[in-house]
A and B are shown apart, each in its own frame.
Chain A
Amino acid sequence: MPDIRTTGRQPSRRNVLFGGLGVGAFALLAAAGCSNEGRGGVGAVSAAQNSSVLPKYIPYTGVPMDIKGADGVPDTMLKYPASPKKATSGQPGDGEDVGVFVMTNTPAPPKLEKNAYWQELNERLGFGLSVALTPSGDYSDRFQTTVAGDQLPDIFAMFSGDIPGLPSLLEERAVDLTEYLAGDAVAKYPFLANIPTESWQSCVYNGKVFAVPVPRGPAQSMVMYARQDYFESEGIDPQVTSFEEFYDLCKELSGGNTWALGRVPLGFIRQMYEIPNGWSEAGGTLTSANLHERQQDALEAARRLVADGFVHPDGVTAAQPQRKTWLVNGTIRFLDDTFSAWPDFSNYPLGEGFQLAVVPPPLAEGGGTAGIHMGPQVQNITSISAKSADRVEALLDVINYLAAPFGTEEHMFKTYGVEGVHYELDGTDPVPTEKGRTEVQLGLKYVVEGPWVNFQAGDPSVAQAEHDAQAAVVPSAVKNPASGLFSDTASRKGGQIGEKLGAVETDILAGRQKVGAWQPAAEAWAKGGGDKIRAELEKALADRKKTEG
């Protein structure tokens, strides 16, 4: 797959550290969303009021899963169901055209006139769907300018952690969906009711439901991928048992024009040093992972990997699709990414026998396995523009249609297109054709989606391996105690102070600053707003505990 942004602007540091992309120890800090007032002077709303409006979870049972997930592990399908059934009747919406503004992680699809998938989609919808796509790394910047220019279309997606003053923005620019979705009301939109409650927490602000989530959770957790086929052929076991062993393995794998790592696996290393996932909690008191006593150990370990030449020299600047290419072509042997990235590899020209495995983080000093960090509950959220308030039910109907669960006819078409044109059936599996890979990329999966299902068309072993890896690491994953809580300061200032700290982190890894620079920078982070964020989150946490009784 061609890479659209080989040298383009990277996801801003804030995206990486704080955003819905959910990377590293900071991931949930601001991505989490929920209660409290915003900047617009709306009165404080308790967590209780927020949880009272959460939509009821009514799981869709029309498609039985091959492997039912347990302990937080997502469901897995080894085969796509034969002849999927339509789960809706008639056409969604009110027949009027709908505009969508959404992020993408793939090259732009062909224009409507040259895109058979898009044309067929419009045919099925019964109206014209116009989609404005922006690469996810640039999305939040583009979003802000779109808001400033008052250009938001009917439906727009957001990385909730990336938008300063999000609740006030939603009050101004988004439709309050509470009366349509809160509690039992959501039953009218069965595919939205199929989204688990935790994910909805990121959609409720000021006691109102303002958005619809693209749910993730475990699937968004970062893990370390290894080229299992390479390790097997070399007779090496990539399942390391301490940091030193990992270091030695990286050393063995690097040399000439190959490197062990595609980028600095800081999240993986932090997990080895048992640094908490964003925050740690003890008796209602939160402590930021930034101030954890082992941060400098983790940074020192990570810095050594860079200084000794085990990380691809362009690893800092390359986009993730570029790094995936390196993993596929053997330039690197390890790459950290989310579980949801696994099926994505099928879009690359994979060599014979290509096989991935997940390496669980060992404790840095050995003697056991550390927990991975549980990913954020949402990939992003999607709202309806206040300007389209008079069409809200029609638009919710469209969103509901696009949320069709895995295994339905609607999902099959939305994800894979038309048989014989965009995919060929391999048994019952829709395997994308070249045309399918390009034309289907309308970003609809980031408008809204049903719960994550592990699946790889044409290769049940991938879904099985993904399931097995998840079963091994997800139940023990370290959760962020502040997940689903909202801090006004984090929303307004978190990005700015996080960016400063992130710059120090980058400098340390590149050897431009001493590891000792971290502690003062982290303290400056706390003083510059981190402490206030902590206090706000603690209050929200106490509120939540009271509600839960």
Chain B
Amino acid sequence: MTAVEEAGTRHRLRSRDDEGAPSGEEPGAPRPPLPWYRRMFRDRAVLLLALPAMAVVIVFQYLALGGNVIAFQDYQPYLGVGRSLWVGLENFSILFSGDPEFLAALRNTLIITLLQTVLVFPAPIILALLLHSLVSNRVRQWVQSVLYLPHFLSWVIVVAVFQQVLGGAGMINNFLRAHGWQPIDVIGNSDAFYGLITSQVIWKDTGWATILFLAVLAGIDKSLYEASAVDGATRWRQTWHITLPGMRPIIIMLLILKLGDSLSVGFEQLILQQDAVGLGVSQVLDTYVYNQGVVGGYWGVAAAVGLVKGVLGLVLVLVANKVAHMFGEEGVYRA
């Protein structure tokens, strides 16, 4: 996605340059836009560069969308899409019939989404501000590297690490028991589950997510800080009046993008820990789709739920983008 977007941006920039300052013509004189085939020819090198990325997106994003036809079928893997029975909207009835399992999955998804938006999303911003305030470059780079590392561990490893440390027979509890104290019940305790998975996400991805914010912070004009210091602004006031406003566009853009996949709350992380805490708290839309479809053989229902989830995500992005425009922000894009 990104590669193509980048290519698209470059393409737009380039054409704007061409339109803005054509050589050998009166500057400022409006020129009729070139027909599309001329523009294609002119930009052929850039377009060629974009092709591989386009191919990836087309094959894995757009062609794959065709699979959604399963949502309208009584799909059987051995019959394939071609020969499975067409059932229309029957698979969607689960959304409206109030199936308790589906509602529970929806509820858990929304709870986790809320937690992730409130607790996980601001974490890298705060961390970036803290890192930015470190004076020594060497210390900062070292801290950064340490914080990035967990991002490269797979969820299987992360879950195992948490299990080894906090599990019922993990390091801490073994120590407690060996000294005659009561063990603490974290892993496998459904009441602590949301806290656990939120901390896992924060531990794993916060460091990595700071990269973007640090880049933005580095781009803020130093002279603003100097000027405000002359005016007697404290560090706190500088953060409030210079740093945060400087970060605002990127924060809003990321927040909107986050909303788009806010209903995907970490399939792998949850499915790995589902057995320990039961489906009551851990079944979310993604695991519901998996359990219904791949495990249970109800592929049609699973695809229907997945499709609705995708559409909801799209609607959320579009609405959030509109709202951002209303507040004078750039948002993700402008039509």
Residues of A within 8 A of B (CB): 6-10, 12-14, 39, 140-141, 144-145, 147-148, 150, 163-165, 168-169, 172-173, 256-257, 312-314, 316-317, 331, 492, 495-496, 499-500, 503, 506-507, 510, 512
Residues of A within 8 A of B275 (CB): 10, 13, 316-317, 506
A256:B177 contact, CB within 8 angstroms: yes
Q: Are B272 and A507 in contact (CB under 8 A)?
A: no
B183 at the A interface (CB under 8 A) = yes
Cβ-closest 8 pairs across A and B? A313-B168, A164-B297, A148-B77, A147-B77, A172-B78, A7-B160, A169-B78, A496-B296
A12 touches B168 (CB 8 A): no
CB pair B296 A499 closer than 8 Å = yes
Chain B residues in 8 Å Cβ range of A164: 296-297
Given contacts A164-B296, A512-B278, contact A7 B156 (CB under 8 A): yes
- Say yes or no for B230: interface residue by CB 8 A criterion: no
**Given that A141-B295, A256-B178, A492-B297 are contacting pairs, would A314 and B279 also be in contact in the complex, using a CB cutoff of 8 Å?**
no
The answer to whether B174 touches A257, judged by C-beta atoms less than 8 angstroms apart, is yes
B247, CB-defined interface residue at 8 Å: no
Is there an interface contact between B294 and A141, defined as CB atoms closer than 8 Å? yes
Pair A144/B177 contact, Cβ less than 8 Å: no
Residues of A within 8 A of B168 (CB): 312-314
In the complex, what residue of chain A is closest to B180 when comparing beta carbons?
A: A256
Which among B77, B156, B169, B178 is the interface contact of A144 at CB below 8 angstroms?
B77
Q: How far is the CB of B153 from the nearest CB of chain A, in Å?
A: 12
B residues 268-318 near A (Cβ < 8 Å) are 271-273, 275-280, 291-292, 294-298
Given contacts A172-B78, A257-B178, A499-B295, A9 and B271 within 8 Å (CB-CB):
yes
Instruction: Determine the chain A residues whose CB is within 8 A of the CB of B277 once the complex forms.
Output: 510
Question: A317 touching B291 by the CB < 8 A rule?
Answer: no
Instruction: Specify which chain A residues have a CB less than 8 angstroms from the CB of B183 in the assembled complex.
Output: 313
**Which A residues are in CB contact (< 8 Å) with B227?**
none
Chain B interfacial positions (CB closer than 8 Å to A): 76-80, 101, 156, 159-160, 163, 167-169, 173-174, 177-178, 183, 187-188, 190, 271-273, 275-280, 291-292, 294-298
- The interface residues of chain B lying within 8 Å CB-to-CB of A148 are 77, 80
Which secondary structure dominates where chain B touches chain A? helix
Give the interface centre of A168, A313, A331, A496 by most chain B CB atoms within 10 Å: A313
Q: Are A510 and B278 in contact (CB under 8 A)?
A: yes
**A145 engages B271 (CB within 8 Å):** no
CB neighbours of A499 from chain B (8 A): 291, 295-296
Query: A312 vs B295: C-alpha distance in the bound complex, in angstroms?
Result: 28
Closest A residue to B294 by beta carbon equals A141
| Cβ–Cβ < 8 Å partners of B298 in chain A | 496
**Minimum C-beta distance from B272 to chain A (A):** 6
Pick from A9, A256, A257, A506: contact of B272, CB below 8 A: A9
A318 to chain B, nearest CB (A): 9
A317-B280 in contact (CB<8A): no
Q: Which residues of A contact B292 (CB under 8 A)?
A: 496
Q: List 29 A-B contacts (CB under 8 A).
A: A6-B160, A7-B159, A7-B160, A8-B156, A9-B272, A10-B275, A144-B294, A145-B77, A145-B294, A165-B297, A168-B78, A173-B78, A256-B177, A257-B169, A257-B177, A312-B169, A313-B169, A313-B183, A314-B163, A316-B188, A317-B276, A492-B297, A495-B295, A496-B297, A499-B291, A506-B275, A507-B278, A512-B190, A512-B278
Closest-CB distance, B238 to chain A (whole angstroms): 45
Report chain B residues within 8 Å CB of A140: 295
Knowing A7-B272, A39-B76, A507-B278 are in contact, say whether A317-B163 is a contact too (CB < 8 A): yes
User: In whole angstroms, what is the CA distance A503 to B291 when docked?
Assistant: 12
B295 touches A12 (CB 8 A): yes
CA distance A165 to B156 in the complex (A): 32
Complex CA gap A507/B160 in Å reads: 22
Complex CA–CA separation, A519 to B177 (angstroms): 37
Q: Which residue of A lies closest to B173 (CB)?
A: A313
- Across the interface, which residues of A come within 8 angstroms of B280, CB to CB? 503, 507, 512
Residue of B nearest to A162 (CB): B295
Residue of A nearest to B283 (CB): A503
For A314, list chain B residues within 8 Å (CB): 163, 167-169, 187-188
Closest chain B CB from A57 CB (angstroms)? 31
Closest chain A residue, CB of each to CB of B189: A510
**Which residue of B is nearest A508, CB measured?**
B278
CB-based nearest B residue for A509 = B278
Q: Chain B residues with Cβ under 8 A from A507's Cβ?
A: 278, 280
18 more contacts with CB within 8 A, not counting A7-B159, A144-B297, A510-B277, are A7-B160, A141-B295, A144-B294, A145-B77, A173-B78, A256-B177, A257-B169, A257-B177, A313-B183, A314-B187, A314-B188, A316-B276, A317-B188, A317-B275, A495-B296, A496-B292, A510-B278, A512-B278
Cα separation A312 to B163 with both chains bound (whole Å): 13
Q: Which residues of B contact A141 (CB under 8 A)?
A: 294-295
A495 to B292, CA, bound (A): 10
Is A506 within 8 A of B278, CB to CB?
yes
A317: chain B residues at CB < 8 Å are 163, 188, 273, 275-276
Would A503 and B178 count as touching, CB distance under 8 A? no
- A331, B177: Cα distance in complex, Å: 14
Shortest distance in angstroms between B259's beta carbon and chain A's nearest beta carbon? 29
Q: How far is the CB of A80 from chain B (nearest CB, A)?
A: 39
Give the CA-CA distance A510 to B274 in the complex, in Å.
Answer: 13
**Chain A residues closer than 8 Å to B167, beta-carbon distance:** 313-314
Distance in Å from the Cβ of A148 to the closest Cβ of chain B?
4
**B178–A14 touching, CB < 8 Å:** no
Closest chain B residue to A152 by CB distance? B78
Chain B residues within an 8 Å CB radius of A39: 76
| Inter-chain contact B188/A7, CB cutoff 8 Å | no
The answer for the CA separation of A507 and B178 in the assembled complex, in Å, is: 29
Chain B residues with CB under 8 Å of A168's CB are 76, 78
Instruction: A303 to B242: give the CA distance in the assembly, Å.
Output: 59
Interfacial chain B residues near A495, Cβ < 8 Å = 295-297
How far is it, in angstroms, between the C-alpha of A155 and the C-alpha of B277 when the chains are bound?
38
From A7, A14, A165, A169, give the contact of B163 (CB < 8 A): A7
Cα distance, A37 to B297, chains bound together (Å): 18
Q: A503, B279: Cβ atoms under 8 Å?
A: yes
How far apart sit A169 and B77, CA to CA, in the bound complex (Å)?
Answer: 8
> A496 contacts which chain B residues (CB < 8 A)?
292, 296-298
